[in-house]
Amino acid sequence: MLLRGKVGLVTGAASGIGRASAIAMAREGASVLLSDIDAKGASAADEIRAEGGRAIFQAADVTDDAQVAGLVALAEREFGGLDVAYNNAGIEGAQAPLEQQDMAGVRKAFDVLITSVYLCLRHEIPALQRRGGGAIVNCGSMWGLNAWPNWSPYITSKHAVSGMTKTAALEQARNNIRINAVAPGPILTPLLLRGWKGDPNNASGRVPMGRIGQPEEVADVVVFLLSERASFVNGHVMPVDGGMMAQTG
């Protein structure tokens, strides 16, 4: 088991990639604190416990500093510390040319996609330091490495996640803490279906492998990056994209 005896935190764990990652982490032996703004995340923790794993759920809004601090404190209180974290919660933002975007929506996207990851890092890093080390994975996107028209709130935010991942990785590199990001391509989740107007085929056309991905295919990479198998992998933004980042044009 890749995460035997570890304590993990997953945000955005009610749905999609976060839910699949929390389940995958528990199957690899981690005790997992699942969190989401949506209380439906409790059912994912139920599923883990029904399989014999260790999990609890706490509702929280990851844009709120005190609530994020509370999650880390809860992991330490319930499970004795924090070793690994997957900062995953996200929204897709509105699609329109940059000059036509509504600024309230832009600020909301920055808050949910950028500030939330910053807050998670801010509170998780001291907890990992208290444990003498650990690993964090942020959820970036292939759109944190490249761009596409009309998605500027999302794409700007995901580029920020790439930057804060690398900066934090360098800062913690001597503290036995590795920090990486996954950069998924199109993955079949409610977020993708909302963003692509309900038709996943809208997103699959440009994928070299000719299909979109499943949440479990990202979860497996998250588990790998959190585990000792990735012991010399640090500061990476790792595409999980069916080959999309390898092509031009």
The least CB distance from residue 172 to ligand NAI, in Å, is: 21
Residues at the interface with ligand NAI (CB under 6 A): 11-12, 14-18, 36-38, 61-63, 88-91, 112, 139, 141, 184, 186-187, 189-192
Cα-based distances in Å from 165 to 59, 60, 85, 126 = 25, 22, 13, 16
- Kindly tell me which of 127 and 183 has the beta carbon lying closer to ligand NAI: 183
The least CB distance from residue 132 to ligand NAI, in Å, is: 28
> Residue ranges of the alpha helices (H) in 64-151?
65-79, 103-110, 116-131
The least CB distance from residue 194 to ligand NAI, in Å, is: 7
The least CB distance from residue 175 to ligand NAI, in Å, is: 25
8 A C-beta contact, residue 161 and residue 176: no
Closest by alpha carbon to 141, among 194, 184, 111?
184
- Kindly tell me which of 38 and 78 has the beta carbon lying closer to ligand NAI: 38
- Kindly tell me which of 53 and 90 has the beta carbon lying closer to ligand NAI: 90
- Kindly tell me which of 32 and 187 has the beta carbon lying closer to ligand NAI: 187
- The active-site residue, picked from 60, 154, 225, 239, is 154
8 A C-beta contact, residue 238 and residue 225: yes
For residue 154, indicate whether it is catalytic: yes
The least CB distance from residue 99 to ligand NAI, in Å, is: 23
Report the C-alpha gap between 142 and 96 in whole angstroms. Answer: 19
8 A C-beta contact, residue 139 and residue 161: yes
Locate 213 and state its tokens.
Answer: 């991905």
Strand intervals (E) in the chain: 7-11, 31-36, 54-59, 84-87, 134-139, 177-184, 237-240
Residue at shortest CB range from ligand NAI: 16
- Kindly tell me which of 31 and 35 has the beta carbon lying closer to ligand NAI: 35
Closest by alpha carbon to 60, among 72, 51, 68, 48?
68
User: What positions carry a catalytic annotation?
Assistant: 154
